Amino acid sequence: MKYDIAIIGAGASGLMLAALLKNQKVCIIDSNSEIGAKIKVSGGGKCNITNKYVSAKNYLGNEKFVQDILDGFDSKAFLSFCKENGLVPHFDEKIVKGTYFCKSSKEVISLFKKLTTSCKYYLNTKVVDMTYDDAFCIETNKQNIMAQKVVVASGGLSFTNLGASSIAFDIAKKFNHKVNVLNPALVGFTVQKDEFWFKKLSGISCFVKATVEQKSFEGNILFAHKGCTGPVILNSSLYWKKGQMSLDFLPNKKIEPFLKSNKKISSALPLPKRFIQEFLLASNLEDKAISSLKDDELEQLKRLKNYNFAPAGNFGFTKAEVTKGGICTNDINSIDMQSYLQKDLYFLGECLDVTGELGGYNFQFAWSSAYVCAKSLQ
C-alpha cells in the first residue's frame, strides 16, 4: 500500500499532526512498542504540556522562524484544542513560571490514541534508510513503506532508552540539509576541581539566580554527586557554551545587612547550614561572627551574590531532556514546515535547530509546528 503521508515518529509533533489529518491515508512509524514514549515521562509523568508565556525569546534558534510558527498556533489555541477534546490541563507554577500540567501523561497519550484511530501504526519499527523517486520509499527493519509525502518528527538524541536515534538527521543529510552541531540540553552540569564541594552537597537544594550568556533564570539548584542540576541549571544549560556562568545564592536580597551581624556566618545567612559549611571550607573561611571578619574575608563571603564558575561539561544525552542544535531552519519553510531542498519532505519539532526552555516550551513548539504543517497537508 502507498500512503498519502508517512509520519516518522510517534512523539508529540507526530501524534499532533496525525490527529489533525483527515480523509487521507496516513501511517506512523516508530521504534517503540507504544506511542508517546517521551510524553509518558515528561514533567515527572504529569506532562508539562505548554506555557502561558510562550514567545520566541524562550527558544534557542532563529527567532523569526520560531515566532512565525508560534503565531500559527499559540498556547491559547492549543489549550482550546485540548478543551474541545476533553482534556483540561491545570496551571501550576511551582517549578517553572507559566506551566500547564495534566493530571497524568497517560491522559495525553489516550487523547491522541483516540484521535488517530484511522492511522496505520508501524510500531517496533526502525527506519533504516529513505529514497525518493516520484514517491518516497522508507526502508525499515521489517518492510519497505511507500508514501507520497513524508513528515520527519522523530526528535533528537536525548532519551536513548526511549528509542531516540539520529534518523531525523540522517534523512536530512541525505537530502542535502545542513545539521548544526548536536548537544545535550536541559541537562545538569559536571564541575571542575574548584567546585568539587558541590558534590559533597548531593541532595541539597536552594533557590538561586543563574546568569549565563546574558540570560538570567531564577529557580532551584539541586546539588548532585556529579555536580549540579535542578530547574535553574537545566535552563542555563540551554545557553551555556563553554566558559563561565554565575550564581546568586541570595537572589532578591542584599548581602550588606547580613555583613553587620554579630552571629556566626552559618547562623546569619538564610541558606542551608550544610551549604554554608561546605562553602566556607572551599573558601578557606572560618565559621565565626561576621562582625569579626577582615576585609579580604568579607570579599570572599560576598561571592555568594556573584559566584562565578565554569562547568566542566554536562551529564550527557542519557540525562538530557532535549537536544539542542539540529536541522538548520534556513532550508525549512515556516509556512508549512516543508523542505526547500526536497519537495514533499517535512520536518517538525525537536529535530529542528529550535530548542525551548524548561516548562512546556518544547511541547508547544511541537504542537505548533505540527499544526502549521497540517494546514498545508489537509
Instruction: Report the chain's C-alpha Rg in angstroms.
Output: 24
Are residue 235 and residue 104 in the same domain, yes or no?
A: no
Q: Are 70 and 176 within one domain?
A: yes
In this structure, the answer to whether residues 86 and 205 fall within a common structural domain is no
Lowest-confidence region among 43-47, 308-312, 358-362: 43-47
Q: What angle do CA 57, 62, 64 make, to 5 degrees?
A: 75
Q: Is the pLDDT of residue 161 over 90?
A: no
pLDDT confidence of residue 160: 79
Give the pLDDT band of residue 46 (cuts 50, 70, 90): confident
94 pLDDT band, cuts 50/70/90, is confident
pLDDT higher for 45 or 348? Answer: 348
All three cell numbers of 305, joined, read 551574590
Mean pLDDT on 177-192 = 97
- Residue-wise pLDDT for 252-310, tens only, equals 999 999 988 899 999 999 999 999 999 999 999 999 999 999 999 999 999 999 999 99
Both 179 and 204 in a single domain?
A: no
What is the model's pLDDT at position 1?
A: 78
The model's pTM is 0.95
pLDDT value, residue 201 = 97
**Chain centre to alpha carbon of residue 66:** 15
Residue ending a domain, choose from 314, 342, 361: 314
* pLDDT, tens digit, 9 for 90 and up, residues 96-136: 999 999 999 999 999 999 999 999 999 999 999 999 999 99
Residue 352 shares a structural domain with residue 255 = no
DSSP 58: G
What's the whole-number average pLDDT of the chain?
95
Length of the chain: 378
Interhelix angle 361-377/63-72, rounded to 10 degrees, is 70
What pLDDT does residue 164 have?
87
Q: What is the mean pLDDT of residues 192-218?
A: 96
14-32 confidence digits (pLDDT tens): 999 999 998 899 999 999 9
* Residue 378: pLDDT band with limits 50, 70, 90: confident
Task: Give me the pLDDT at residue 240, please.
Answer: 97
In angstroms, rounded to a whole number, what is the distance separating the alpha carbons of residues 44 and 353? 25
Alpha-carbon span 28 to 19, nearest angstrom: 11
Residue 287 CB neighbour total at 10 angstroms: 13
- Report the domain count for the chain: 2
CB atoms within 10 A of CB 363: 30
**With contact defined as beta carbons under 8 Å apart, do 372 and 354 qualify?**
no
9 with 127, same domain: the answer is: yes
Look at residue 269 in the predicted model and tell me its pLDDT. Answer: 94
CATH (domain of 46): 3.50.50.60
Residue 68 sits at φ, ψ, to 5 deg, of: -55, -45
pLDDT at 163 (0 to 100): 81
Contact call for residues 38 and 12 (beta carbons, < 8 A): yes
Residue with cell 545587612: 257
Helix intervals (H) in 212-269 = 231-239, 265-268
Assess whether 19 and 152 both reside in one domain: yes
Same-domain status, 163 and 196? no
Q: Taking 90 as the threshold, does the pLDDT of residue 43 lie above it?
A: no
Q: Are residues 197 and 134 in the same domain?
A: no
Do 259 and 352 fall into the same domain? no
Tally DSSP H helices, then E strands, for the chain. 11, 21
Which positions ≥6 away from 181 have C-beta within 8 Å? 325
Count CA atoms within 13 Å of residue 17 on its CB side. 34
DSSP secondary structure string for all residues of 36-66? -HHHHHGGGGT-EEEETT--GGGEES-HHHH
Give yes or no: residues 10 and 122 share one domain: yes
Domain with 194, as residue range(s), is 189-314
> Which of 314, 343, 369 is a domain's end point?
314
Mean pLDDT over 181-192 rounds to: 97
Q: Is the per-residue pLDDT at 320 higher than 90? A: yes
Q: What is the pLDDT of residue 44?
A: 82
Q: Residues 6 or more apart from 86 whose CB is under 8 A from it?
A: 111
Q: 314, 332, 352: which is the final residue of a domain?
A: 314
- Same domain assignment for residues 150 and 211: no
CB-based contact 185:324 (threshold 8 Å): yes
CA atoms within 13 A on the CB side of 184: 19
Q: Which of 43, 54, 53 is nearest to 103 (CA)?
A: 43
